[in-house]
């Protein structure tokens, strides 16, 4: 009987060693779901702060969320590539217009392991810096966000357009 | 000595059982990389065929790649939601214009586990169905594609805009 004692103890150790990968396997899908929930929560928090910076004309806060290699594709002009050129572009924008309201409608967020997309429609009230009546634009937008190694999200690409019909050419 | 034979055999079995999860662990990153290569290859093939259908005004081939819950956000009009309304929209488009050339420039593809994005710039030559000079549009686009359970990709969302400056309002 005493002869069997040592092997039994060792087998018990093996049992525990076997249990570990089984437990890891069983819980890995739960852990992955938890990771995705955390990723989504961080994405929602980040994009909310980003849009709030835009609403309050706060360029410094806005660019905290922008990747160095970001680019925007505004309508009716060339794309703006890189964080520094984007700063100049937004500075020019702010010298012409101040945002008074920005409402996001039919917003969708698609969060994946490395990239996240936000899209929807906007209603944007802009007050001309030179004075005069506010301008209201309505349109669509789509943004790509890039996950960083530390788990945070940075703004990477955006395109938008206006839903307002173009003025019909007047007959001469 | 004979007493130790049976436990040793059993321990050998445990060793193999222990090896299996270790080997799976060691090769899972290689397998994941292979999966991603296959996903990317399938995405490139799909999006190439999709754009070729657009180039050849082939609505039937085009809609093979479109998800039932797809939506497009064209400039200067309301978004078009659903495959059937998109068919009507494209049919109206084809009755006004035929694509003669479509060139994609500065194309980027971001392929993730569940979603893929394609974006870039386009140069699009359109021949009016009613006759007259071809129209050339240049602009930007961003598409979201959704991976299906069988591994294939379906077109899900698109937004685009024109880079051509708006005509300046003429003084009265």
pLDDT in tens, A33-56: 778 898 899 999 999 999 999 999
CA distance A64 to chain B (A): 23
pLDDT confidence tier of residue A169, bands split at 50, 70 and 90: low
Whole-number pLDDT of residue B96: 96
% residues pLDDT > 70 (chain B): 80
Q: What is the pLDDT averaged over residues A104-120?
A: 96
Q: Do B144 and A119 touch (CB under 8 A)?
A: yes
Q: Do B114 and A112 touch (CB under 8 A)?
A: yes
Cα distances from A66 to residues A63, A85, A163, A167, in angstroms, run 5, 12, 26, 34
Q: Which two tokens stand for residue A3?
A: 């002869």
Q: Do B21 and A21 touch (CB under 8 A)?
A: yes
Q: What is the pLDDT of residues B7-33, one digit of tens each?
A: 455 555 656 666 666 666 655 666 677
* Pairwise pLDDT comparison (B53 vs A172), residue with the higher score: B53
pLDDT confidence tier of residue A8, bands split at 50, 70 and 90: low
C-alpha–C-alpha distance, residues B37 and A5, integer Å: 52
CA distance A6 to chain B (A): 10
% residues pLDDT > 90 (chain B): 72
Q: Is A134 on the interface with B (CB under 8 A)?
A: no
Q: Which residues pair with B109 in a beta bridge?
A: B118
Q: What is the pLDDT of residues A64-85, one digit of tens each?
A: 999 999 999 999 999 999 999 9
pLDDT confidence tier of residue A167, bands split at 50, 70 and 90: confident
CB B79 within 8 A of CB A105: no
% residues pLDDT > 70 (chain A): 80
Whole-number pLDDT of residue B16: 60
- Using CB atoms, which residue from A113, A117, A163 is nearest to B144? A117
Q: What is the pLDDT averaged over residues A111-130?
A: 96
Q: Is the pLDDT score of A103 beyond 60?
A: yes
Q: What is the pLDDT averaged over residues B154-171?
A: 88
C-alpha–C-alpha distance, residues A158 and A50, integer Å: 13
CA distance A73 to chain B (A): 7
Global pTM value: 0.83
Among A19, A110, A153, A168, the residue to mutate for chain B (most B Cβ within 10 A): A110
Return the minimum-mean-pLDDT range out of A91-100, B7-16, B74-83: B7-16
Whole-number pLDDT of residue B172: 46
* Mode of pairing for the β-strands spanning B97-111 and B80-81: unpaired
Q: Which residues of A touch B12 (CB under 8 A)?
A: none
Q: Is the pLDDT score of A163 beyond 80?
A: yes
DSSP element (H, E) containing A91 = helix A83-96
Whole-number pLDDT of residue B20: 67
Q: Is A160 on the interface with B (CB under 8 A)?
A: yes
Residue corresponding to tokens 């779901």:
A33
Q: Is B131 on the interface with A (CB under 8 A)?
A: no
Mean pLDDT computed over every residue of chain B: 88
3-state secondary structure of A70: strand
Whole-number pLDDT of residue A30: 61
């Amino acid at each position: 009987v005493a002869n069997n004692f040592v092997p039994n103890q060792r087998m018990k150790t093996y049992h525990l060693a076997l249990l570990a990968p089984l437990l890891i396997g069983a819980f890995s899908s739960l852990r992955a779901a938890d990771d995705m929930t955390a990723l989504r929560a961080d994405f929602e928090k980040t994009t909310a702060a980003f849009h709030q910076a835009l609403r309050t004309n706060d360029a410094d806060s806005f660019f905290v969320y922008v990747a160095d290699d970001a680019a925007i594709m505004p309508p009716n002009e060339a794309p703006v590539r890189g964080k520094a050129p984007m700063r100049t572009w937004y500075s020019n924008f702010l010298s012409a217009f101040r945002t008074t309201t920005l409402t996001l409608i039919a917003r969708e967020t698609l969060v994946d392991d490395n990239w996240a997309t936000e899209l929807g429609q906007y209603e944007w009230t802009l007050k001309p810096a030179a004075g005069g009546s506010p301008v209201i634009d309505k349109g669509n937008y789509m943004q790509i966000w890039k996950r960083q190694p530390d788990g945070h999200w940075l703004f990477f690409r955006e395109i938008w357009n206006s839903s307002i019909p173009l003025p019909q050419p007047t007959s001469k």
